[in-house]
Chains A and B, each alone.
Chain A
Amino acid sequence: MALVLNEEQQMLKEAAAGFLAEKAGVAQLRALRDSANEDGFSREVWAEMAAMGWAGIAIAEEFGGIGYGYTGLGLVLEQAGRNLSASPLQSTVLVAATLIAELGSAQQKEQMLPAVASGELLVSLALQEGPHHRPEQVATSARRDGDEYVLSGSKILVADASTASSFIVIARTSGDAGDPAGLSAFLVDAASVGLTIEHRSMVDSRNAGAVGLDQVRVPAPNLLGEEGKAWEGLSRTLDIANIGLSAELLGLSAEAFERTVAYLKERKQFGRVIGSFQGLQHRAAELFAELELARSIVLQALQAVDAGDENLPMLASAAKAKLCEVAQRATNEAIQMHGGIGMTDEHEIGFFIKRARVVQHSFGDYNYHLDRFALLSGF
């Protein structure tokens, strides 16, 4: 597949850029933050996004989606990154819907995917338990009891926790922590008895929370896929999630960089614009080169998802590691090159480093993915 966008993708990208800049930009994120909105996003804007088909963008047409694939979703996520647009695109569309499509039975997919595609059903993955992403270490337990499973444990960093109507909880039906075998995925209603949601205020002003499970009884048909065999589908979902988040980081980094270059052409010191200083020019040029590499690896990884490339795990870790590195550098340089004003809450540039850090951490950071990339490369 050629590493270029086709006409349909180009139009989607432009439509997303225009809409998000107007309806879900940094100013809107600031307003959501300052009004202490627990949803963390605007439900009206989300309804408009769903009406344009974005909630079902990567969902197959037979399940009510528009079937643009992950390359299509990636383009929208890139624009969401540029505008720091808050919405359930990541939690529900990128992650939960993918996991349902990977693990669910035909009946489960028919029940849930059209509801996701319409924008009505908000689902979020409850996976992480400790401070770091270590999916095979899950200790939350699920015990079969008649027609039900009984789940106990606690999850953190659950994206959009206070708006999700249900969670996909990863729990252990057998084996010990550290064992990829024995993990199962359950669809759990947010209103279940024994389930508690604690909203947590995060650095990026988005909605995330902790989910407690105390003897939560889940009907057996809510098991996604086979008992104890969630790992393969979960692992592929995490690869796709990391590639989608890399697309978001690409947009975020490119926007922070472009705003910074514009500032270099405008800010004067010593009687000339600071962008004329070679010390800053070379740093900007190096960052430009890194962003070009970032753009290529993200596009390659997105296309690899849609093409069913067997190299996906290696490409996913390559993309996430590279984008974590580039995003960190771009957002740090953005603040440094803006100088004092970059440190103020009043200026928008500071919002970029905050969101970047949360995305970097989600589903494995630079260190996690560089290690995995090396292992998958044979060393």
Chain B
Amino acid sequence: MVLPSGAGVGPWSGRIDAGEQVLLLGPSGCGKSTLLRALAGAIPSHQRGRVTGTVRLAGEDGPIDPVADGVLAAAPVLGHLGQDPVSGVCLPRIADDVALPLESACTPPERIGARVHASLEAMEVGGLAHRDPSTLSGGQLQRAALAAATAAGPRLLLLDEPTAMLDADGVAAVRSAVESAVARTGCAVLLVEHRLDEWAGERGLAGLPQRTIALDRSGRVLADGPTGEVLAAHGAALRDQGSWLPREIEERLDGARRTPSAGAASTESVSMAPAPSRRAPQELLRLREATLGPAGRDVLTGADLTVRAGHLLAVVGRNGAGKSTLLGALSRLDPVRVGRLDGAGAGLVLQRPEAQFVADTVAGELAASGAAQTAQDEMLARLDLADFAAQSPYRLSGGQQRRLSLGAMLLADRPVLLADEPGYGLDRAAQGAVLALLREAAEEGRGVVMTTHDLRSIECADEVVVIADGRLHGPVAPGELLADGQLLHRAGLRARDEPHTARPVPMAPEGLTALDPPPRPRAPLARRDPSVLLGLLTALSIVCIALTDPGPLLGLYLLLAGGTMLGLRIGPFALARAQAPFVLFAVGVFMVNVLSRPGHEPWPELPVRVTCEGIVLGTALALRALVIGLGALTVVRATDPGRTMTSLRTHARLPARISLALLAGQRLLEDLPRRWETITRAHRLRRPSSADGTPAPLGPRAMLRCAFALLVDAIRSSARIAFALESRGLGAGERTQWRTAALTRADGALVLGVVLTVAAVLVLSW
């Protein structure tokens, strides 16, 4: 398989038998994901590339050719789970996402509920069936995505770094979910994973898949055989090329060659011991007795932290413990609510480098820091990016992007450097390079703070602070932390001792499972069919467009307002507040008509021309905007996107492809404010900070840059969403529909009532 960049993977000849467990191992960029995507049918149907040779998957009705026939053809026999929990689940409700592959397999609708439930239960997330994915943790999301990937009983499960973003308990939960999925469906597994120790848990090598395919840096197969043998024979070569290995193998390799090879500094720096410089380091930044977190929710209390020059400080803690909150405060993006922060300004490098890019080229990215040209050139060489200077930073690999964002922040020359998960998702060599950069920054006299959930990066820090239960613990020396099992667990670095009993999942507020029908809304109007409501709104809009007389429009407006308050059970003040933007719009329409329409002038002495015709028509047009706006508001409040699409699929025969693509779009829309905030915060950090060290606000140009970054991010998401939907079998072919919408007598009564009322208003005002 060859990609347009000229990078390729293979040739690989071999077979994966039913129920076989295989680990795919190799350094970043060697084509592990490409191989998985080719098996899933994404090359060339989703991604440009050339596949030579043949790939065949054993389907029910004979062999499937994923290369020629694409993702949809491979979907019935494949399940796929990627590394980003957010893009693993595509629809706004977990149960619907899991039902998708079952609908694609034409499962009879009455049996879908039970199978969705069984699938979610097997992943121990049965109580989350009716939850919105945005309210779930990463570990829960990955398990829900796994439930969807295995619901229709695939023969082969492709796992592409499924734990990259999780803490130790999350890894254990996903791991046990994969085991139960394998036990349930008997599927084969092809696993790509950097975090081998966490995946294997207490069992060491025996906890890994029994077979390993090892790839070298250029994507050629080094070996394919039993895991123990492959690692023993090729461990050294794999490690030299930058691949992660299980700790057991690494220790064996270290034991084999006792002579420390100082030459390969960049790849060896992971285990490089910190250079202890214990000459009373200068205090750069000090946080005292601080309470941090958004207003009304204390994430951290009583936080004390000192950042010293020349020190590399690691911050560890579970997902959601408050690591990013702490960095937000240290960088002065977020205010310290109680307590105080004194000292120098800090630069923060975020987890996703793409959120922080401000220029068109790699060289421009460094120039944006405002450093001298020679310093820029020096940095470019030091980052090993000189060959890419004129390229767009978005085209770099993950490791290169991370180096670039660190380099740009180093050039900005702030005394303190903060890095959020700098090693995440990188292979051994790339992580080594990033940690070496941080180490060098500390040695140059900066104070460096990094968050991490990786045991090995802790080893190169001077001190470690643990965040647990809303407080900071430590700092302690890395060795001390690594020896303390209890503390390691609280830091989310080690799963609890019994890894197979995953954390009990908090049930949904109602404790509803996929076997229960969705909760019925309380308000009477919200129980009506969304298609009916949309139809009524359209009809009402057409009637309003035809009216130019204020009388009947006023009548309609008052009746509609009354109906909305009764039907949605909301008070007059809440209704008025919700209408505020429409009122503003209506006032504008009224004013412009009053002032700009020729006709009879009742008050000629006024300095501006005001006409009777203008007042009458302006009132009518303003009322028209109010009626239609109120109608739209009512329909939006009375429906939710999921029910609307179910109803439109049932009654209006809207194709599943379109309705589900729209729903996926809606889910993205709900996520956009969060992404926008991440990007704007990241960009503020790239600007010169103001006098007191707080990051400066963004001007219009910078806002446009942020908008562009959001667009790039969304287009990348669209590729992932399309792949996820299609790998769940969503196509133009035949499918069943689990949830349907039935029209009731009450819907009929509503239509009749509205028609009669509107007719009465029109007749009375004639």
A and B from one assembly?
A: no
